[in-house]
Amino acid sequence: MLAHSPTVPTGPTGPRERKQSSKAQSLQTLGFLHRTYPRFGLEKMTQDVEMKDRTAPSNSVSSTGPSTLHQLKEIASLIETGSYTKEVRRIVRAIRLTMALRRKLKVPVLSAFLDFALVPVSEAHSRLSAYLPKEDEHDMEVDTATSADQAPVKHLVPELEIYCYLLVLVFLIDQKKYNEAKACSSASIVRLKNLNRRTVDVLASKLYLYYSYSYELTGHLAEIRGNLLGLHRITTLRHDELGQETLLNLLLRNYLHYNLYDQAEKLRSKAPRFEAHSNQQFCRYLFYLGKIRTIQLEYTDAKESLLQAARKAPAAARGFRIQCNKWAIIVRLLLGEIPERTVFMQKGMEKALRPYFELTNAVRIGDLELFRSVAEKFAGTFSTDRIHNLIVRLRHNVIRTGLRNISISYSRISLADIASKLRLDSANPVADAESIVAKAIHDGAIDATLDHSNGWMVSKETGDIYSTIEPQIAFNSRITFCLNMHNEAVRALRYPPNTQKEKESAEKRRERQQQEQELAKHIAEEEDDDF
């Protein structure tokens, strides 16, 4: 018998080699099938085989982002650091991060955060926990493992307590629990009156805003007018300029909500004015100022304020910009100007500005009948926007525009034809047409003469407009606008706090560059804040 020789292993012996060999054979087979049958679409199968080993480890390790509770704890740490170091910018950053998380807030998360931030037996903890609605046990989806491993450190800084009030108040408003939000906001205002810290001013301004908003949502805005006046006096004595800006705008909104324009103007004229600290509050102030000037028939100042508010408003505040454009369009029509078509074609505003586009078209043509039909068609929209009384004022402008078109088209026309073209529906249209023409000639709207004996209006020949001072007036207004914009840009420049020209070390240079980057990021993200 021949002895059996030992078999020499020629194939893969280890599990890793067998896996690689089977993978290579599979790829070779798929490549052959792809060359032979190109219509079968085997590219996806090849990719699945190649990506199988890459996706396998992802099943064992799951990469999830930080939870909402963890992010709130980081914000609390940021507020605590800002309180100890007296850095207001850290408080501002904490508010900005909170507004990005407001859609993720839930009752279990808020309850766990209150336990973390406040002492459980404290009065603030008991009061805020009572405002939160009760949840079932199976809805408690909180990081219990994380909170159990790390013992919560009780923060006793007042800024964190005020932040908890703000967090619960925002949550209640988002959940449309307006009565609870009103009670929570009132309690927070009582607590704020006992605090006089500059690091609380930023949080206080937000609480003032939601305090007024919660009462406005419940229809009891007039009840807090006295409290707002008292708070404005307190912030003035404490030199809280941001609080003064916020409360002044809230008081103006309160007065304008009930059409108390005279009281609003008296308050605005006597309130102290200083350099704006918040772009959002400055835009609101310009908008309210434009509304007051419009009602007082000061259309030129109103137009400037409204257009400036629309330009300064951030792009994210689309609703505010729509309101500014609505009022600006009406004011320009009352001034005898016709807004450009691009004003109505702005992105995201076409549908909201459609009634005003049709109204502008009626005023441009000078057709009184079309103006009446548009005013009746969109009467509900104009009443909701609270500018129905301004629409009534536009009737005279429509008549004047139509009369101007008639004077340009005809060298001589009878008063009866003018009445018919203007579609005057009065008892004596000829007499009304005569008075309208006489007033237009007296105001300088048209260049014509009135022949009372024959009942004619004789238009004068149109002269060269460049021989008058109108081009000079137009250029002067444009130059003034550019100079004012340049001056505002210069005043808005920000400089680093360290202006010493000493030689700085590498560590100080890195620290300064990091602060400059944070400041630039803050300026870029400031416009996206909650408006």
Q: What share of the chain is helix, strand, coil (3-state, %, to 5)?
A: 70, 0, 30
Q: What is residue 288's predicted lDDT score, i.e. its pLDDT?
A: 93
CA distance 83 to 243: 18
Q: What is residue 525's predicted lDDT score, i.e. its pLDDT?
A: 65
CA distance 403 to 419: 10
Per-residue pLDDT tens over the stretch 347-357: 888 899 999 99
User: Which residue is listed with tokens 């203007």?
Assistant: 422
The pTM (predicted TM-score) of the whole model is: 0.71
Nearest to 435, CA basis, from 419, 421, 454: 419
CA distance 485 to 477: 12
Q: What is residue 248's predicted lDDT score, i.e. its pLDDT?
A: 92
Radius of gyration of the chain (CA): 35
CA distance 21 to 26: 9
CA distance 281 to 253: 12
Q: Measured between alpha carbons, how far is residue 415 from residues 195, 404, 433, 444 in Å?
A: 72, 14, 6, 19
CA distance 454 to 457: 9
Q: What is residue 503's predicted lDDT score, i.e. its pLDDT?
A: 56
Per-residue pLDDT tens over the stretch 222-274: 888 889 999 999 888 888 888 888 999 999 999 999 989 999 999 998 888 77
Q: What is residue 529's predicted lDDT score, i.e. its pLDDT?
A: 55
Ranges under pLDDT 70 in the chain: 1-66, 135-155, 276, 443-445, 461-463, 494-505, 522-531
Sheet with 448-451, strands from edge to edge, namely 412-414, 456-459, 448-451
CA distance 164 to 131: 12
Q: What is residue 221's predicted lDDT score, i.e. its pLDDT?
A: 87
Please provide residue 412's backbone torsions phi and psi, each rounded to the nearest 5 degrees: -150, 130
Nearest to 111, CA basis, from 86, 139, 91: 139
Contact 448, 413 (CB under 8 A): no
Q: What is residue 38's predicted lDDT score, i.e. its pLDDT?
A: 45
**Element at 242 (helix H, strand E):** helix 241-257
CA distance 37 to 314: 58
- Residues 6 or more apart whose CB falls under 8 angstroms from that of 11 comprise 18, 21
The string of DSSP codes covering 303-319 is HHHHHHHHHHS-TT-HH
CA distance 401 to 407: 10
CA distance 419 to 500: 76
Q: Measured between alpha carbons, how far is residue 296 from residues 91, 386, 455 in Å?
A: 40, 15, 37
CA distance 58 to 337: 65
Show the tokens assigned to 73: 């704890």
Q: What is residue 286's predicted lDDT score, i.e. its pLDDT?
A: 92
User: Which residue is listed with tokens 């369009």?
Assistant: 329
CA distance 270 to 226: 17
Q: Apex CA 416: angle with CA 415 and CA 418, to 5°? A: 60
Show the tokens assigned to 354: 């459609």
**Chain centroid to CA 191:** 29
**Chain centroid to CA 116:** 32
